[in-house]
Amino acid sequence: MERSDSPFPPQSGYHQTREELLREYFDYGNLRSLPSKKPSPAGLFFLECKMRHLANLKDLSASEIQDILAKAVEIKENPGDFRTLLAHQSLAMIFQKTSTRTRVSFEVAMTELGGHGIYMDWASSNFVLSGIEYETEYLSRNVSCIMARLLHHSDLLKIISGSQVPVINGCCEKFHPCQALTDILTMQEHYDGDIKDAHLVFVGVQNNVSNSLTLICDKLDIQLTLATPEQDDNGESQDAEVREIIRKSARVNHTKDARAAVQGADFVYTDTWIDMQYFSNPDNAAENQVTLKKMQPYQINKDLLQGVDCKIMHDMPIHDDNEITAAMVRDPRSIIFSQAANRLHAQKGLLWWVYKEAGNL
């Protein structure tokens, strides 16, 4: 993508401010589809090109998701054919949160596709000293894509608004789209037949992972049951569109009865009950203990899955004897480590799609 000295068009003839243009394409904090041609009379640089951001999964069609997953499979099966796919491309990887799988999978993916991943720790960068949009605009003049793993979705939207290159949500408190792509890829590998016939049961708390599973299962027509307590209306992962899907979708439903939900499940999936930034925080110790006690009926253990012919999934990191027992992690039904390894392959498929949409392949 050729970059001009300024991301903005000449000031003459302006009828809309940058903020007014952004408001046209943001709806209650959710990024909407962007046009593929330059808006008139004014436009932002990132609106002039074809590039697509991945803020959540809401703007991807079922066919686009299937394309990403199909390419992930193709690259996984034929890695040698794609060693120069992203030659001379650089991905900036911004981290507010700790990470194992997100960092490793994106960095290795860029390396194995011929590109380069740059690790950036938010706390040791000037993102903590300046406006997010300013730092992002500078950064995006040096790299061809940005992946951000953040504490706050609002910061992701600021990165998107300041970027001249595609931005991928590597995880935030509301959404984890990269994980959801990985999960469907893994289910396809471990299910004989049409994945639309599979039944996925998510057991635990509604969070960023369950939000993204809700979005992707609704789009792909996969049966998803959320076996969780009622979601806190003021919870930080709360998303109105996700709640509406749960309420109306014919394929996504909610129950508080985990034991009944797992009967007949093909895949039983769990995640941490406490977000990682709070898990070891002494200020949250008392609240965490209350949560752990309340959530015990939702633990994945031998008793809950007695006689259930299913695959066990977990997006990691794992907290033994909280959301899942150590025995179930190593149970013959567990595909947890295969699932985690697929982060690499799903990331490769996603990077292919992002660069293709930006016209850089």
Q: What is the pLDDT of residues 137-186, one digit of tens each?
A: 999 999 999 999 999 999 999 999 999 999 999 999 999 999 999 999 99
Q: Is 212 a residue whose pLDDT tops 80?
A: yes
Mean per-residue pLDDT of the chain: 88
| pLDDT at residue 31 in the model | 44
SS3 readout for the chain:
CCCCCCCCCCCCCCCCCHHHHHHHHEECCEECCCCCCCCCCCCCHHHHCCCCCECCCCCCCHHHHHHHHHHHHHHHHCHHHHCCCCCCCEEEEEECCCCCHHHHHHHHHHHHCCCEEEEEEHHHCHHHCCCHHHHHHHHHCCCCEEEEECCCHHHHHHHHHHCCCCEEEEECCCCCHHHHHHHHHHHHHCCCCCHHHCEEEEECCCCHHHHHHHHHHHHHCCEEEEECCCCCCCCCCCCHHHHHHHHHCCCEEEECCHHHHHCCCCEEEECCCCCHHHHCCHHHHHHHHHHHHHCHHHCECCCCCCCCCCEEEECCCCCECCCECHHHHCCCCECHHHHHHHHHHHHHHHHHHHHHHCCCC
Q: What is the pLDDT of residues 92-108, one digit of tens each?
A: 999 999 999 999 999 99
| CATH topology agreement for domains 18-173+345-357 and 191-334 | yes
| pLDDT at residue 91 in the model | 98
Q: List all residues 6 or more positions away from 166 whose beta carbon is below 8 Å from its beta carbon.
A: 51, 52, 53, 54, 145, 146, 354, 355, 357, 358
Q: What is the pLDDT of residues 64-86, one digit of tens each?
A: 999 999 999 999 999 999 999 99
Q: What is the pLDDT of residues 317-358, one digit of tens each?
A: 999 999 999 999 999 999 999 999 999 999 999 999 999 999
pTM for the model: 0.86
Query: 10 Å Cβ neighbour count for 131?
Result: 11
| pLDDT at residue 286 in the model | 79
Q: Is 111 a residue whose pLDDT tops 50?
A: yes
Higher pLDDT among residues 286 and 19, named by residue:
286
Question: Band of the pLDDT at 291, cuts 50, 70, 90?
Answer: confident
Higher pLDDT among residues 234 and 39, named by residue:
234
For 18-173+345-357, which CATH class?
A: alpha beta
**Angle (nearest 5°) at CA 337 between 153 and 259:** 80
Give the closest residue to 217 by CA, choosing from 172, 266, 170, 173: 266
Using the structure block, give the residue that is written with the tokens 């179930």.
328
Q: Is 232 a residue whose pLDDT tops 80?
A: no
Strand partners for 27: 30
Strand partners for 146: 92, 167
| pLDDT at residue 147 in the model | 98
Cα 95 to the chain's mean position, in Å? 14
| pLDDT at residue 278 in the model | 66
Query: 10 Å Cβ neighbour count for 283?
Result: 8
Higher pLDDT among residues 310 and 235, named by residue:
310
How many angstroms separate the CA atoms of 106 and 343, rounded?
A: 8
Domain ranges of the chain: 18-173+345-357, 191-334
Question: Band of the pLDDT at 10, cuts 50, 70, 90?
Answer: very low
| pLDDT at residue 43 in the model | 31
Q: What is the pLDDT of residues 264-289, one digit of tens each?
A: 999 999 999 987 666 667 777 778 78
**How is domain 191-334 classified at the CATH fold level?**
Rossmann fold (3.40.50)
| pLDDT at residue 3 in the model | 40
What is the b/e burial string over 288-323, where b = at least 16 CB atoms within 10 angstroms of the residue's CB?
beebbeebeebbbbeebbeebebbbbbbbebbeebb
The token pair at 216 is: 């992707």
